[in-house]
Amino acid sequence: MIEIKNLHANVNGKEILKGINLKVNAGEVHAIMGPNGSGKSTLAQVLSGHPAYQVTQGEVLFEGQDLLDMEPEERAHAGVFLAFQYPVEIPGVSNSYFLKAGLNEIRKSRGQEELDSFQFLKLLKEKMKVVEMDQSFINRPVNEGFSGGEKKRNEILQMAVLEPKLAILDETDSGLDIDALKIVSSGVNKLKSPSNATIVVTHYQRLLNYIVPDFVHVLVHGRIVKSGGKELALELEANGYDFIREEMLQSA
Amino acid sequence: MSVEMNHYTNEFQTFQQNGAAKSPDWVNDVRTAALSVFTGKGFPTTKQEDWKYTNVTPIARAPFRYSASAPAVPAELVTSLLIGDTEQHLIVFVNGHFSAEHSRLQSLPAGLTVKNLIAAYGSHADLIKAHLSKYAPYDKNPFTALNTAFINDGAFIHAAKGTKSSLPVHLLFISTAAGDAPAASHIRNLIIAEEGAEVRIAHSFASAQDNTNLTNVVTEVSAGRESIVELVKVQRESEKAFHVEHLHVHQEPRSTSRVFSLAVGGAIARNEMSVIIGGETTECNLNGLYITSGEQLIDHHTFMHHIHPECPSHELFKGILMDKSRAVFNGKVYVEPEAQKTDSKQTNRNLLLSDEAVVDTKPELEIFADDVKCTHGAAVGGMNETHSFYLKTRGISEGSARGILTVGFAAEVTQKIDDPVLRRFVDTIVVDHLRRKFGTGNLPEIVHA
A51-72 confidence digits (pLDDT tens): 999 999 999 999 999 999 999 9
Alpha carbon separation from B443 to A93, B154, B393 (Å, rounded): 9, 37, 18
User: Which residues on A lie below 8 Å from B389 (Cβ)?
Assistant: 48-51, 72
Average pLDDT estimate for A74-81: 96
**Which is it for strands B256-263 and A197-202: parallel, antiparallel or unpaired?**
unpaired
More confident position, B195 or B449: B195
Pick from A129-133, A198-202, B302-306: least confident: A129-133
Confidence of residue A209 (pLDDT cuts 50, 70, 90): confident
Question: Rounded distance, CA B256 to CA B250, Å?
Answer: 11
Q: Which of residues 412-431 of B touch A (CB under 8 A)?
A: 412, 414-415, 427
Closest approach of chain B CAs to the CA of A239, in angstroms? Answer: 36
Mutate to test the interface with A, among B386, B389, B398 (most CBs of A within 10 A): B389
- Reduced 3-state DSSP string for chain A: CEEEEEEEEEECCEEEEEEEEEEECCCCEEEEECCCCCCHHHHHHHHHCCCCEEEEEEEEEECCEEHHHCCHHHHHHHCEEEECCCCCCEEEEEHHHHHHHHHHHHHHHCCCCCCCHHHHHHHHHHHHHHCCCCHHHHHCEECCCCCHHHHHHHHHHHHHHHCCCEEEEECCCCCCCHHHHHHHHHHHHHHCCCCCEEEEEECCCHHHHCCCCCEEEEEECCEEEEEECCHHHHHHHHHCCHHHHHHHHHHC
Query: Who's near A50: CB < 8 A, 6+ residues apart?
Result: A72, B389
Q: What are phi and psi of A98, to 5 degrees?
A: -55, -50
Does the CB of B383 have a partner CB in chain A at under 8 Å? no
Q: Is the pLDDT of residue B259 over 90?
A: yes
Contact across the interface for B389 and A51, Cβ inside 8 Å: yes
Rounded to two decimals, what is the model's pTM? 0.93
Contact across the interface for B404 and A98, Cβ inside 8 Å: yes
- From the list B413, B402, B408, B412, the residue with the least C-alpha distance to B438 is B402
Contact between B394 and A162 (Cβ < 8 Å): yes
Compute the half-sphere exposure of residue B218: CA atoms within 13 Å on the CB side of its CA: 25
Does the CB of B435 have a partner CB in chain A at under 8 Å? no
Q: Is the pLDDT of residue B88 over 90?
A: no
Residue A251: what pLDDT? 63
Given the cut 0.90, state whether the ipTM is greater than it: yes
Residue A231: exposed, middle, or buried by beta-carbon count in 10 A (0-12, 13-18, 19+)? Answer: exposed
Does the CB of B441 have a partner CB in chain A at under 8 Å? no
Contact across the interface for A93 and B414, Cβ inside 8 Å: no
Contact between B227 and B111 (Cβ < 8 Å): no
User: Which residues on A lie below 8 Å from B396 (Cβ)?
Assistant: 73, 98, 101-102, 105
Adjacent-strand bridge partners of A80: A166
Contact across the interface for A91 and B449, Cβ inside 8 Å: yes
Contact across the interface for A48 and B414, Cβ inside 8 Å: no
Question: Rounded distance, CA B246 to CA B141, Å?
Answer: 9
Distance from first CA to last CA of chain A, Å, rounded? 33
Q: Write the residue in A51, A94, A158 that is nearest to B394 by C-beta.
A: A158
Average pLDDT estimate for A152-169: 93
Does the CB of B368 have a partner CB in chain A at under 8 Å? no
Contact across the interface for A88 and B387, Cβ inside 8 Å: yes
Query: Who's near A28: CB < 8 A, 6+ residues apart?
Result: A197, A198, A214, A215
Q: Write the residue in B400, B408, B447 that is nearest to A101 by C-beta.
A: B400
Q: Is the pLDDT of residue A250 over 80?
A: no
Phi-psi region of B111 (alpha: psi -120 to 50; beta: other; left: phi over 0): left
Closest approach of chain A CAs to the CA of B409, in angstroms? Answer: 7
Closest approach of chain B CAs to the CA of A7, in angstroms? Answer: 20
Contact between A95 and B447 (Cβ < 8 Å): no
Pick from A149-153, B241-245, B257-261, B339-343: least confident: A149-153
Contact across the interface for A101 and B404, Cβ inside 8 Å: yes
- The residue type of B412 is E
Q: Write the residue in A51, A71, A88 that is nearest to B390 by C-beta.
A: A88
Size of interface A-B (CB pairs under 8 A): 106
Confidence of residue A236 (pLDDT cuts 50, 70, 90): confident
Alpha helices in B100-177 (DSSP H): 117-123, 125-131, 142-149
Residue A241: what pLDDT? 78
Residue of A nearest to B412 (CA): A91
**DSSP code per residue over B301-336:** EEEEEE-SSS-EEEEEEEEEE-TT-EEEEEEEEEE-
Residue B21: what pLDDT? 67
- The residue type of B113 is T
Question: Percentage of residues in chain B with pLDDT exceeding 90?
Answer: 86
- From the list B309, B249, B307, the residue with the least C-alpha distance to B281 is B309
User: Which residues on B lie below 8 Å from A97 (Cβ)?
Assistant: 404, 444-445
Alpha carbon separation from B126 to B121, B123, B176 (Å, rounded): 8, 9, 33
Contact between B356 and B395 (Cβ < 8 Å): no
Alpha helices in B316-444 (DSSP H): 385-392, 398-414, 420-438
Q: Write the residue in B390, B392, B447 that is nearest to A94 by C-beta.
A: B447
User: Which residues on A lie below 8 Å from B427 (Cβ)?
Assistant: 92
Adjacent-strand bridge partners of B291: B320
Closest approach of chain B CAs to the CA of A234, in angstroms? Answer: 32
Pick from B106-110, B176-180, B210-214: least confident: B176-180
Phi-psi region of A37 (alpha: psi -120 to 50; beta: other; left: phi over 0): left
Report the 10 Å Cβ neighbour count for A155.
24
Q: Write the residue in B393, B410, B414 that is nearest to A72 by C-beta.
A: B393
Closest approach of chain A CAs to the CA of B433, in angstroms? Answer: 16
Q: Which domains does chain A have, with CATH numbers?
A: 2-251 (3.40.50.300)
Question: Rounded distance, CA B51 to CA A178, Å?
Answer: 59
Confidence of residue B69 (pLDDT cuts 50, 70, 90): confident
pLDDT tens track for B402-432: 999 999 999 999 999 999 999 999 999 999 9
Q: Is the pLDDT of residue A252 over 60?
A: no
Q: Mean pLDDT in chain B?
A: 94
User: Which residues on A lie below 8 Å from B449 (Cβ)?
Assistant: 91, 140-141, 144-145
Residue B379: exposed, middle, or buried by beta-carbon count in 10 A (0-12, 13-18, 19+)? Answer: exposed
